[in-house]
Amino acid sequence: MVEQASAWVESPLQMLCAVEAHHAGLLGPETAVVPRAGLRPLKATRRELRSLGLPDGLVLAEPRERMPRRVQAVGDAFSGKVQLRWLTSRPGRIVIVDDGLATLRLLELLAAGPFRPLLRARANRTRLRAALGVAAALRLRLSQVSVFTALNVDDKLAEAVREAGVDLVRHDFAWLRAQPPSAESPAERTVVLGTSLVRNGLVHRDHYLRWLTDLAAREPLAYYPHRREDPVDVALIRERPGITVHDAGVPAELTLRGLDPGQRVLSLPSTAITSLRVLLSPRGVAVEPVDVPDAWWTSRAAPALRSHLTGVSS
């Protein structure tokens, strides 16, 4: 009897990438993708994915409050719950699916050595949390780990990751590219992806809203909010003339895959630029990163962070 693999996902992108990982054969012939309960974007993404031709052997399970006892694939390697599950399970096969910018930090930490704690870049570094992060890193050394990503990883980092015993698997959304275009694509020529940089305190709100207002004064815009964008900001954007807010709640990779030649996507620094280029460039759709002027950055955005953010979308 074939054992069914479990993938625990906590974001729309993780859910999509878990489907791609199953399609690529990393999780075995049967996989249950288990979404964390209580997250509206996951419900919307699950509904959208179910409307497509899911790969054979894959099931989008009902949402759960708790992670399965045995889980082979996760998206958030920095989650305390995920790390505790690793420590209370036998070492085995672990597949970490793409989680945007956090994936690059994970690769950097894995390449740096076994004693670097697996902590988010701006996490509250308590002694207990750091100890858990170190223990999780050591446990990964005893496991067969694959990181499954569509992001650009420079050759030096990729080689260091592989020398650390981690299998780096690149993908190009092969399953999604084979699906029919979305019928919900916007009619506007210019699509703007929302950003979490404002809510995270890295970019000044006034500068960002003024840029959107000026852009909309020249042409109509379709605006897709970031899932972590402040609802108050989204409401303000919705009031701007010339801007239509599409609160889809699913990954941009799903909703925008049907854009036509002549349309374009604009975005502040984001890993979504890389994935959308993979999907849309063959269709003749331009995906353009927007440089953040120095005046937009707040004091919380250190020069190293600015450079890192800019680098991932260049």
How many CB atoms are closer than 10 A to CB 128? 8
Please state the pTM of the whole predicted model: 0.91
Continuous H helices in the chain: 12-23, 40-50, 80-87, 101-112, 127-141, 155-163, 174-177, 205-218, 231-239, 252-255, 272-280, 303-312
Per-residue confidence (pLDDT) for residue 303, from 0 to 100: 85
- Residues 180-313, CATH architecture: 3-Layer(aba) Sandwich (3.40)
Q: Which residues contact 112 (CB under 8 A, 6 or more apart)?
A: none
Per-residue confidence (pLDDT) for residue 1, from 0 to 100: 54
Per-residue confidence (pLDDT) for residue 2, from 0 to 100: 60
Spans of all domains in the chain: 5-177, 180-313
Q: What are phi and psi of 46, to 5 degrees?
A: -60, -40
Instruction: Give the residues of the chain that fall short of pLDDT 70.
Output: 1-2, 123, 248, 311-314
Q: Is 277 helix (H, G, I), strand (E, B) or coil?
A: helix
Q: Are strands 264-267 and 190-193 parallel, antiparallel or unpaired?
A: parallel
